[in-house]
Structure 1
Amino acid sequence: MSERIAAAVRKEPRRYGVGFAVGLAAVIAAVLVLVSGLATASGAARKAARTNRAGGHAAVLSQAQINANVNRLINQMTVAEKFGQLEQAGPNGPNGTPGDLITLAKNGQIGSVLDLVGVDQINQVQQAALQSRLHIPLIFGLDVIHGYRTMFPVPLGEASSWDPRQVARDESVSADEAAADGIKWTFNPMVDISRDPRWGRVVEGAGEDPFLGSAIAAAKVRGYQGNDFSAPNKVAATIKHFGAYGAPVAGREYNTVDMSTQQLFNDYLPPYKAAVDAGAATVMASFNSLNGVPNTANPYLLRTILRDEWGFNGATISDYQAVQELEVFGYANGPAEAARLALTAGINIEMAVAIGQQPNQPLFSTYEAYGPQLLAQGKITMAQLNEAVRHVLTLKYLAGMFSDPYQGSDARVASEELTPANIAVARKTADESMVLLNNNNHALPLSPSVGKVAVVGPLADDALDQLGPDVPIGYSTKPADLAPGGADKVITVRQGIQNVVGQGNVNYAPGCTTFTVADPCNETSGFGDAVTAAQNSDVTVVVVGEPAGYSGEASSRSMLDLPGQQAALVQQIAATGKPYVVVLMNGRPLTLGWVADNAPALLEAWYPGTTGGDAVADVLFGKFNPSGKLPMSFPRNVRQIPISYNELPTGRPFDPNNKYTPKYLDVPNTPQYPFGYGLSYTTFSISAPTIVGSPSRSGAFLVRATVTNTGSKAG
């Protein structure tokens, strides 16, 4: 499709649906904040100068110098060494040990490493790479999704803050902590738009809206990379999963995506484009096929859109073993053709399980195994190979790996991870991520002198689940480290409430005897203790939700109710007649049914991270006025899915009094809680919006409104 046609598709048609007005008054102020945060940094991969720290002195390394150095290396490399730079391997595949990585690094058979953590191990493998013939350093990557040691709210929670500046601070902390341990490349941000909460990876994104998603995507890139990701406290960012990975059929992970061009350009591509404009260093292709073409071998996405139309000049990478999966798709006739299709489509780096074919091991690297043969047969060209190698080597120069290959150290780990300053950033984000869904008759805030507080529910004192999915490999999950006062410094809801009212004023009972993915509160024998705790208290805080394993990759759900018997637990607490409030910890919108209709107060906390318990207490007891807004609609039931506020208009707008308009017979059209929804402890008035400047179809303009706090509480 030509750029002219693509531009037309991006602009038309305009979206003015009934749902557009839902929650508008609640989000205008947040939109004004977002507009101010949308200014993008210049492309990091195209910056004209970089810092060379060789000898301890800062020196300017121009882009021309980087290009010259890269060309010099390419001219010196053998074909095998070139394909080695295109391979990424980890310590946990069939080869199994860091010792294998050392051998591969010495032989120049790999260019990058994933999932190796611990600065001592990383430096050992780096030392081996520097002993290779051309002394080319490795770059080490990891999924740093919502923290490295200091854990922030999950990305869907971060997006609920509607605060790109704070999100950028989160990623800046994450980058510093990861880089201190030798990680210079994160496989994040995930910027996939999704309107289907059955899909488990909605937890990693910013929800249903391309505008909010674009603002958050750009902020994350700026936070990870800063102005120069060769800096010792910055890392290269990866845009994933390109593209439209968030729209799998039926919400099932890895499933195919079938989408109109209009929807692709209007709704799903904007966050990727925003991240490219913010200077993201790398892009990861997604597992899925898009309209019949696997994205790992999709030149329309990887070349026409990404490079030709958007001007991306960084490196691209496959997802885990995705090149070889082209054969399983039925798209490639064998692994050799898979390698050819991926490389010529534009995949520079193959993320592989293992380097080299092993007996009885079906997974291996296709570039290294078949690339030289394809080159000799003329099925790929030396120019195509050199192009891919050039992007990889340039990434390493931009990350500072040539000037300082040992950027992490034990001293940095000790001084830069889980610091009081980092924890303070995490608490601020956790505060801002809380969304107040119900507050009937001003049930909240509670008074710190309320008396006895029962804290019940399976997530009330569960440090590990509170962190959510995507805890980095290498993060300590030992019980001693997760315990109160442990090395991980996690504050649970039970501990956070104790910090306010005192330990002696808290009656705790989990209610559920087990809470795992396999058994998420199916046993009710512990409910009696929870009811007793409520009866002996002045107010009860019930903390329910999903086990962390219910969210993330390969965690799709067909039903979105509270798992197990948790709704029954809430009902039994309500039956005591004592005051109660409900706190949710989950990674997706849920169908809450009775709980949504009856809970006097309902607080969405998501998975709030290291400081989550203190943040929940901040909101419950009024220290922080909740300001979060939903980035994704909560359906009434799964049969409303997909659901979003910005559906296209029809010729028959919804009319509840007219049978022949688009509606259900058995449930309202509206969601339980719409996009942009979120209550406060105070009230606001918003003046009529005014337009500054002259609106045009192709230009930007400013919409201004005055927001006035008309209530009695700051907010």
Structure 2
Amino acid sequence: MSNSRVQAGVSRRGFLGGAVSGLAIAGVASGFAPAFAAPKDAFIDGLIAKMSVEEKAGQLSLYSDPVRTEAATFNPSVASVPKTQMLADIAAGKITGLFNGMGVALGRELQKAAVETSPHGIPLIFAADIIHGMKTVFPIPMAEAASFDPELSRRTNRVAALEATACGLHWTFSPAVDVVRDQRWGRTAEAAGEDTWLACQFAAARVKGFQGDDLKAETSLLACLKHFAAYGAVEGGMDYNTVEITEQTLRQTHLPSFQAGITAGALSVMSSFNDIGGVPSTGNRRLLTDILRGEMGFKGFVVSDFTSEEELILHGFAADGRDAAKKAILAGCDMSMQSGIYMKYLPDLVRSGEVPMSVLDEAVRRVLRVKQAIGLFDNPYRSLDAKREQTQLRLPESLALAREAARRACVLLKNDGDVLPLKKTGQKIALIGPLADDLNQLNGYWVVFPDTRKDITVAMAMRGIVGDGNLNVVRGADIDAPIPGGIDAAVAAAKAADVVVLCIGEGQEMSGEAQSRTEITVPAAQQALAEAVAATGKPVVVVLSHGRALALEGAVRNAQAILCTWFLGSEAGNGIADLLFGDHSPSGRLPCSFPQKSGQEPFYYNHRATGRPQLSETDINYRTRYRDASFEPLYPFGHGLTYGRIVYGPTQLSADSLPWAGQVTVSVTIANSGTRPVHEVAQLYIRDRVASVTQPIRSLKGVRHLDLAAGESKTVTFALTRADLAFVGLSMNWQAEPGEFDIWIAPSSSAGTSARLKLLKA
């Protein structure tokens, strides 16, 4: 437990003035440990000494690739550098790298121009948004987090790195380690959910998966932690919006996942679009220098998000491009992405003395050290192997992993009357909905190099199991609009079937960057389809596709079974069919709470207690609740059913008190009284009953996975220490306080029987 917790001792002056403080709590690091502390290097310093100011600015300038243009378009249109100018700038040593292009042959040509023609032979770095797979596409990050298994994420990101480096890439703009508390925000799809502890585990696993054991290896893909910082706290869940949070919340909720990624070895960080307290992140020296480097010990480089350094102007923080470049570089943003303002303005800013040469040199040093760390100076043509490009994409073992990840990401929200699993024979199935058989709706957002030709839809997988004679596939409606005669055809199919499988939800373009929604519901056309099908009286299994938690309504909410499937990637259909027909039992758990209504957002399980909580269903007057809904989720964080009958015993403690420097064992016996084997996910939660700063009503502190055969019982245990009870106090230090704590081992954040533990004074 305490070994996996990633926390830090940071003083109040850390945010306000950049000081570093230690922490005298066992099991918690005393300060932030650096992940990469390269010593002064004579080779790097010799290069810097020979470079012109223009060449230095070039090493801080990253552009989209105009030569290898196979990527889908995700970013806004901006003035791009013409191909001929780009090649000339590479030859002149005025570009550090290119992003969102792929291909080994042209990559070698570009690298040859940099290494053999530019004045100092500094190699380019090739980057791309490899968010959840290259050619083999895995579940979106939020879906993968539903496995509650960081090791699965490490494995999928290792395959993503294998394929990306086979296509000529060195660096990915991933993982997103934002903690997300508002499901209206489209970029929830990229994150690991609403819990800080879980976000830390997945941040570390994803970095290790991308980078592997050796940064210089051909298959190592440099990770980039984003978005620094607190982007998941944008007001109203609206992308690019402002952030207003307390320093305590910043430190306790939003910074630990970045620390986890840094400790795991990440050498690049991306600044976020948002401001915090009126200071945009890309121009926030306290954030990028005092905290990230001074406190957290980060030794890599910071890259702006797409033109975010230029956007300081529209924020009203910089007067013009020159002022924006000055403020960003002085804040600690080392690399400019796409805008070109560093190349345009830094040389004159340095010559005028407004930006010290030492600041420019240190930014260049950080970038060159990372290029050195990933082996580009030793082998500029690493990850540019034509044979690998032909032999390492969509391997059978990669697709098998994609199928495993797909089924482990699915969360069974509801299964009344055991309508699931379906029968493989003797049952007529109506497969209805716009997401049942659409190859273009499997991957979700941020697949830059899509190749869906061999992907598997639900309809394709189900036909392979039950045959065409027992399966009737009807679209019924489009994602956002009705189809003439569509509902009539769907109703007819439902009436002729024994059971309906209704594949509905968000289209993949409805979540992701710039896709915030005020109503996080199933689109109206599909809701009408669901109502009509449900009116036939046939049992309905809803298979939801989505990039966020949804507020379910009407016939969707009331369906006999609901399987939450997110966007699952290349093997989506096979993974879902594995569960629908009972070849595997569902095991996923919600990494984000499903609200009853959109208006509950922002909503998260680990909120603080108020002075007037609703204590029972009938206790509704003058309580913390809405007039038309309680202050409870429709489905809570951590929730997920299996095909078993799972019973948790009471939470047991090895002792009622925890010595200041000791530990206690927490255990529970879990039984499967059903007839099918299952995979269960046991979760450890705590609550600090009285503290100097009010604490969440529950906080996740650990997870255990266990397989249970039919009729089998097992006992799971956790070790709990004082470090697991710590929080950020009024001094902005991590601290634990003596007192009483409630402890649960439970199947979700709203279940289980608690035990009482007392933390003793030193």
TM range (shorter): 0.7 to 0.9
Q: 1:570 to 1:137 in 2, by over 3 A?
A: same
2:125 corresponds to which letter in structure 1?
I
Whole-Å Cα distance in 1 between the matches of residues 311 and 14 of structure 2? 33
Are the equivalent residues in 2 in contact too, given 1:202–1:552 (CA < 8 A)? yes
Aligned partner of 2:534 among 566, 574, 590: 574
Offset of residue 350 of structure 1: 0.4
* Partner deviation per Cα, 1:306-364 (whole Å, 9 max, x = no partner): 111111101110011111111111111211111111101101100014xxxxxxxxxxx
Whole-Å Cα distance in 2 between the matches of residues 73 and 697 of structure 1? 52
What is residue 672 of structure 2 aligned with on the other side?
A: 709
Are the equivalent residues in 1 in contact too, given 2:15–2:286 (CA < 8 A)? no
Offset of residue 42 of structure 1: 9.1
Whole-Å Cα distance in 1 between the matches of residues 9 and 149 of structure 2? 36
What is residue 536 of structure 1 aligned with on the other side?
A: 496
What is residue 510 of structure 1 aligned with on the other side?
A: 475
Q: 1:640 to 1:535 in 2, by over 3 A?
A: same
Equivalence map 1:365-384=2 (5 Å): 365-384=340-359
What is residue 672 of structure 1 aligned with on the other side?
A: 634
Offset of residue 128 of structure 1: 1.2
Are the equivalent residues in 1 in contact too, given 2:551–2:595 (CA < 8 A)? yes
TM-score (normalizing by structure 1): 0.86
Equivalence map 1:585-624=2 (5 Å): 585-624=545-584
What is residue 392 of structure 1 aligned with on the other side?
A: 367
What is residue 546 of structure 1 aligned with on the other side?
A: 506
Aligned partner of 2:212 among 205, 213, 226: 226
Whole-Å Cα distance in 2 between the matches of residues 396 and 699 of structure 1? 44
Aligned partner of 1:77 among 29, 46, 51: 51
Are the equivalent residues in 1 in contact too, given 2:93–2:119 (CA < 8 A)? yes
1:322 corresponds to which letter in structure 2?
S
Whole-Å Cα distance in 2 between the matches of residues 431 and 98 of structure 1? 43
Question: Aligned to 1:565, what secondary structure does the other structure show?
Answer: helix
What is residue 445 of structure 1 aligned with on the other side?
A: 421
Are the equivalent residues in 1 in contact too, given 2:173–2:223 (CA < 8 A)? yes
Question: Aligned to 1:218, what secondary structure does the other structure show?
Answer: helix
What is residue 387 of structure 2 aligned with on the other side?
A: 411
In the alignment, does 2:464 pair up with 1:499?
yes
Q: 1:292 to 1:624 in 2, by over 3 A?
A: same
Whole-Å Cα distance in 1 between the matches of residues 661 and 238 of structure 2? 37
Question: Aligned to 2:310, what secondary structure does the other structure show?
Answer: helix
Question: Aligned to 2:647, what secondary structure does the other structure show?
Answer: strand
Offset of residue 402 of structure 1: 1.4
Aligned partner of 2:605 among 645, 661, 686: 645
Are the equivalent residues in 2 in contact too, given 1:44–1:228 (CA < 8 A)? no
Whole-Å Cα distance in 2 between the matches of residues 697 and 600 of structure 1? 49
Aligned partner of 1:91 among 65, 83, 103: 65
Whole-Å Cα distance in 1 between the matches of residues 147 and 127 of structure 2? 28
Q: 1:72 to 1:320 in 2, by over 3 A?
A: same
* Partner deviation per Cα, 1:568-607 (whole Å, 9 max, x = no partner): 1112112222232110001011111113542001100000
Whichever structure has more strand as a proportion of its residues is: 2
Are the equivalent residues in 2 in contact too, given 1:438–1:596 (CA < 8 A)? no
Whole-Å Cα distance in 2 between the matches of residues 185 and 671 of structure 1? 39
For structure 2, which runs of at least 5 residues remain unmatched after alignment? 1-7, 17-28, 67-77, 679-762
In the alignment, does 2:166 pair up with 1:201?
no
What is residue 329 of structure 2 aligned with on the other side?
A: 343
Whole-Å Cα distance in 2 between the matches of residues 154 and 521 of structure 1? 25
Aligned partner of 1:147 among 133, 145, 161: 133
Are the equivalent residues in 1 in contact too, given 2:35–2:263 (CA < 8 A)? no
Are the equivalent residues in 1 in contact too, given 2:433–2:476 (CA < 8 A)? yes
Whole-Å Cα distance in 2 between the matches of residues 334 and 341 of structure 1? 11
For structure 1, which runs of at least 5 residues remain unmatched after alignment? 10-37, 47-62, 354-364, 477-481
Whole-Å Cα distance in 2 between the matches of residues 322 and 389 of structure 1? 19
Whole-Å Cα distance in 1 between the matches of residues 270 and 409 of structure 2? 27
What is residue 49 of structure 1 aligned with on the other side?
A: none
Offset of residue 45 of structure 1: 2.9
Q: 1:450 to 1:154 in 2, by over 3 A?
A: farther
What is residue 684 of structure 1 aligned with on the other side?
A: 646
What is residue 18 of structure 1 aligned with on the other side?
A: none
TM-score (normalizing by structure 2): 0.81
* Partner deviation per Cα, 1:468-498 (whole Å, 9 max, x = no partner): 11111x334xxxxx3xxx3xx2000001111
Offset of residue 4 of structure 1: 3.0
Question: Aligned to 2:233, what secondary structure does the other structure show?
Answer: coil
Question: Aligned to 2:542, what secondary structure does the other structure show?
Answer: strand
* Partner deviation per Cα, 1:502-530 (whole Å, 9 max, x = no partner): 23332111111x43xxxx13445312222
Q: 1:551 to 1:265 in 2, by over 3 A?
A: same
In the alignment, does 2:452 pair up with 1:461?
no
Offset of residue 696 of structure 1: 6.8
What is residue 714 of structure 2 aligned with on the other side?
A: none
2:350 corresponds to which letter in structure 1?
L
Question: Aligned to 1:161, what secondary structure does the other structure show?
Answer: coil
Deviates more, 1:661-670 or 1:192-201: 661-670
Whole-Å Cα distance in 2 between the matches of residues 241 and 697 of structure 1? 36
2:566 corresponds to which letter in structure 1?
W
Whole-Å Cα distance in 1 between the matches of residues 423 and 236 of structure 2? 45
Aligned partner of 1:475 among 450, 454, 465: 450
Question: Aligned to 2:602, what secondary structure does the other structure show?
Answer: coil
Aligned partner of 2:108 among 102, 123, 126: 123
Count of residues paired in the alignment: 641
Whole-Å Cα distance in 2 between the matches of residues 559 and 155 of structure 1? 22
What is residue 298 of structure 1 aligned with on the other side?
A: 284
What is residue 36 of structure 2 aligned with on the other side?
A: 45
* Partner deviation per Cα, 1:250-293 (whole Å, 9 max, x = no partner): 11110111111121111122211111111111000001111110
In the alignment, does 2:97 pair up with 1:132?
no
Deviates more, 1:409-418 or 1:81-90: 409-418
Q: 1:98 to 1:123 in 2, by over 3 A?
A: farther
Aligned partner of 1:436 among 402, 412, 418: 412
Question: Aligned to 2:41, what secondary structure does the other structure show?
Answer: helix
Structure having greater relative contact order (Cα 8 Å, sep ≥ 6): 1
Question: Aligned to 2:108, what secondary structure does the other structure show?
Answer: helix
Offset of residue 214 of structure 1: 0.9
Q: 1:99 to 1:505 in 2, by over 3 A?
A: farther
Are the equivalent residues in 1 in contact too, given 2:14–2:295 (CA < 8 A)? no
Q: 1:441 to 1:148 in 2, by over 3 A?
A: same
Whichever structure has more helix as a proportion of its residues is: 1
Are the equivalent residues in 1 in contact too, given 2:15–2:290 (CA < 8 A)? no
What is residue 319 of structure 2 aligned with on the other side?
A: 333
Whole-Å Cα distance in 1 between the matches of residues 654 and 126 of structure 2? 47
Are the equivalent residues in 2 in contact too, given 1:45–1:398 (CA < 8 A)? no
- The root-mean-square deviation of aligned C-alpha atoms, in Å, is 2.3
* Partner deviation per Cα, 1:11-66 (whole Å, 9 max, x = no partner): xxxxxxxxxxxxxxxxxxxxxxxxxxx9xx996634xxxxxxxxxxxxxxxx55x8
Whole-Å Cα distance in 1 between the matches of residues 482 and 466 of structure 2? 31
Deviates more, 1:703-712 or 1:595-604: 703-712
What is residue 228 of structure 2 aligned with on the other side?
A: 242
Whole-Å Cα distance in 1 between the matches of residues 98 and 663 of structure 2? 42
Are the equivalent residues in 1 in contact too, given 2:445–2:512 (CA < 8 A)? yes
Whole-Å Cα distance in 1 between the matches of residues 372 and 15 of structure 2? 38
Are the equivalent residues in 2 in contact too, given 1:43–1:278 (CA < 8 A)? no
Offset of residue 99 of structure 1: 4.0
Aligned partner of 1:172 among 158, 164, 172: 158
Whole-Å Cα distance in 2 between the matches of residues 697 and 523 of structure 1? 66
